[in-house]
């Protein structure tokens, strides 16, 4: 495969689960109609609400989100990465979980967000760890054509070591379903995304949520698709939409060959502090 058409879905999720599913399906269908073979949804697109609502809306891995994604991916014959949702594990703990579903409608991979968003931004405190337990496994999935996908979620974007490991494990496309706050979207989002693309010589598909999901809590949109040279191939505005771009995998191979920064690494010289 020399090219792959990919899409990022930007939508305004709320506590209205039915409305969220309807909006997501409409935009996924639009992306597929425009030729997208790989489609990414944002973080927590099925439900955004209070901590209590997120706990109450948690579901098992093979719950309604998975059933919806499997049926839609099979019908449209696409690789669908269903953003993330609140998963209740077999141990009773909740995770912020992303699913990759194949064109055959099978769950190929599940990634549980590793880094919890415990921060203060713009005077507002966020404590993701009050609801979710962090994941412990780095996940590389792949399309049926063998294109490796590095799976991450939102706040993971600030941890470059995760993305470097994904690249070293073979990821050619890095996936970032997100709900970046409006402040960090405006000041950090594009810089971080382009940095992850350039330093790992990988495509980055970033699907951000948009709008005010709770009073005073606003997420910033501006979803992007970026190539391994750091060029923005497609960018969303400030409303719900689907963006689509063609990923030139042959050009990526040339970039990695001609500017071999991944191959020129010297792991034996690196020392982690305190280890």
Active-site option among 62, 113, 137, 199: 113
Q: Is 43 a catalytic residue?
A: yes
Q: Is 30 a catalytic residue?
A: no
Do the beta carbons of residue 270 and residue 208 sit within 8 Å? no
The span from the CA of 134 to the CA of 145, in Å, is 31
| Token duo for residue 121 | 């931004």
Beta strands in the chain (DSSP E): 3-10, 38-40, 79-81, 85-88, 94-101, 107-112, 118-121, 124-127, 139-142, 148-151, 173-178, 203-208, 210-214, 217-220, 224-226, 232-235, 241-248
Which residue is listed with tokens 């099979």?
A: 74
Active-site option among 62, 75, 154, 169: 154
Q: Is 154 a catalytic residue?
A: yes
**C-alpha neighbours within 13 Å on the C-beta side of residue 160:** 12
The span from the CA of 233 to the CA of 241, in Å, is 15
Catalytic positions, written as ranges? 43, 113, 154
């Amino acid at each position: 495969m020399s090219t792959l058409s990919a899409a990022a879905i930007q939508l305004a999720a709320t506590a209205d689960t039915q409305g969220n599913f309807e909006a997501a399906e409409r935009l996924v269908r639009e992306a597929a109609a425009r030729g997208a073979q790989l489609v990414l949804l944002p973080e927590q697109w099925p439900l955004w609400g209070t901590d209590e609502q997120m706990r109450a809306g948690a579901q098992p891995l093979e719950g309604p989100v998975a059933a919806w994604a499997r049926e839609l991916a099979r019908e449209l014959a696409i690789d669908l990465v269903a953003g993330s949702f609140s998963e209740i594990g077999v141990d009773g703990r909740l995770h912020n979980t992303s699913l990759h579903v194949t064109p055959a409608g099978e769950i190929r991979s599940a990634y549980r967000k590793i880094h919890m968003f415990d921060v203060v931004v713009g005077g507002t405190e966020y404590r993701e760890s009050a609801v979710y337990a962090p994941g412990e496994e780095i996940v590389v999935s792949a399309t049926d054509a063998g294109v490796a996908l590095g799976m991450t979620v939102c706040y993971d974007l600030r941890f470059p070591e995760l993305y470097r490991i994904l690249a070293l494990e073979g990821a050619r496309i890095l996936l970032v379903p997100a709900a970046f706050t409006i402040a960090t979207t405006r000041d950090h989002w594009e810089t971080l995304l382009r940095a992850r693309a350039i330093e790992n010589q990988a495509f980055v598909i970033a699907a951000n949520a948009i709008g005010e999901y709770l009073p005073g809590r606003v997420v910033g949109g501006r979803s992007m698709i970026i190539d391994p040279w750091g060029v923005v191939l497609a960018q969303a505005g400030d409303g719900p939409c689907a963006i689509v771009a063609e990923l030139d995998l042959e050009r990526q191979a040339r970039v990695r060959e001609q500017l071999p920064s991944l191959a020129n690494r010297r792991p034996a010289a690196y020392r982690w502090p305190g280890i």
